Amino acid sequence: MSELPPPDPIPDPVPAIMAGDHEGYMRLALSLATKSPPKPTNYRVGAVMVDVGANEVLATGYTLELPGNTHAEQCCIEKLARKYKVAGTHLGEALPDAVALYTTVEPCSQRLSGNTPCVDRILAVGKCIKTVYVGVQEPDTFISGNSSRRKLEDAGVEVLLVGGLEKDILEVATAGHETRPL
């Protein structure tokens, strides 16, 4: 007999953010990224999935929030799949027609661990994810030449940069990384 995973902990209350306040949603994603443990082998990333029509947060996630080598976007998708009791590939059938994903760092296009890249997970959800808002492009630290933006846009998903928080996002994302003297 297989054991069910433990229920998700009660999430922290989500602050009220006005519809279209992309910086507000990116700040929420950044606050989530700070919950990820600093490690030299990954970025600390936060993500928020929003029902655009209702201006309602559907899910939040951050790097290593769930067991395994999980990324922030993956955590959002896995939590929603669990909530709706569907596979991640069928999640689009359960979600509203227009969903936005806010992520502090551009979704990964490759995983050195062999796990499914976040861009492929996003596309597997289906056409309901219309826009992906990113705080910074993925630095070339682990994988150079991230192709996720092109892959998303080729699939009809708009990718937009939310500027103004790059310094803060990179500071949080790279906490725990080795720094080399100049």
Residues known to be catalytic: 73
- Which helix H or strand E contains 161, and what residues bound it? strand 158-161
Contacts of 68 (CB under 8 A, 6+ apart): 115
Q: What whole-number distance in Å separates Cα of residue 93 and Cα of residue 169? A: 32
Helices and strands counted in the chain (H then E): 5, 5
Angle, helix 166-173 to helix 22-33, in steps of 10 degrees: 20
- Which helix H or strand E contains 25, and what residues bound it? helix 22-33
